[in-house]
Structure 1
Amino acid sequence: MRMQETGRQGGPEARETAVELVYEVTTADLAQAIHVRNTATPELRRQRRLVPLIGIVLTVVGGAALAAGQSGHKSLAMLAGGLVLCGLALCGPRLQARAFAGLLAKAGETRTRVDGTGIQVATARSSTLLQWGAQPAYAETADTFVLLDAAKGAAAMTVIPKRGAREPGDVDRLRAALDGRLRRL
């Protein structure tokens, strides 16, 4: 990573430090980000609790019906559906991340630059400039920073793995830049 001085001439923020990271997003990074997203808003937290609860109820009701000798299609369907929902609750973020493995491989190396104008993310296939208001919240995990559109469904997110930092202190400078402009979740 290299640090560059950028900014407007003469203003109070004339010498703002940009932070650049270079990395490849992995399915593990994306799974962490999906997990963070799923806990970011009240709506998604409710869904996260509701899916396993429904799975458990269906499993218990279907299993109890089968144990009582009701071997109909409804009992088997409830049992199977409950088990599937419980499995999705446990493995959902990893399964969703694996679904994007091909796209992540095609993206290849990612270069992210964070400065006063926002976050510029460039891959071999695309380049995007996110102004600071586009994803106004972020969360930090042990391995990543996850920027989120904190709206109802938190659909938009950007994953920035910390391993993209090349110099000591770069992660701290990135965290400071994010803290200065975004709401930490």
Structure 2
Amino acid sequence: MRNWEDIGYLQIGTSRQRQAHAAFERLGILATLNAFGPVLAGTIPLNIDLPSSDLDLICEVPQLALADFQLLLRQHYGHLPRFSLQETMVRGCPSVVGGFEAEGFAWEVFGQPQPTRAQHAVRHLLVEYAVLEAGGEAWRQAVLTLKRQGLKTEPAFAQLLQLPGDPYAALLTLENLTSAELRQRLPPLRP
């Protein structure tokens, strides 16, 4: 199982993943956000990204530190193109969402007062990784095809997995399956 807290895997990945790793190094963002346990989620770690895909960093930010987290983002990245920062409620939880462009990538930094592994973006990452590991290259290509047709990542997975209802919630129903159970649940891909 991959250690998602360490982006070293990007160094031996695809060209885009290697570019992302270099961007992390040049920006120094992991050191800046280290106290918040950042985890890279989204499509680039899974090699199902499109040219417009961003780098999504998920952070654990104690509720009392949300203002400090915003200040940190503003101080370090407020000067960058397309900088944005907002505090909002996500699934009933106070959250901070920051965004900017740097080093050839769009970045989104998301913080909530809960462990990163409990946050939906990381939970989705883990399920999607498990599905891709079980389904192999054919599943990766099928997800990419649907994404190129305009579907977001979670709806693409849910469609291929034939999961009814809200795709974001439906994907999470698979998170406790073993690799063998997940392989058995994968429906055949349609040509």
The TM-score bracket by the shorter chain reads: under 0.3
TM-score normalised according to structure 2 size: 0.24
TM-score normalised according to structure 1 size: 0.25
Higher share of residues assigned strand: 1
Between structure 1 and structure 2, the one with the greater Rg is 1
Bigger RCO of structures 1 and 2 (CA < 8 A, at least 6 apart)? 1
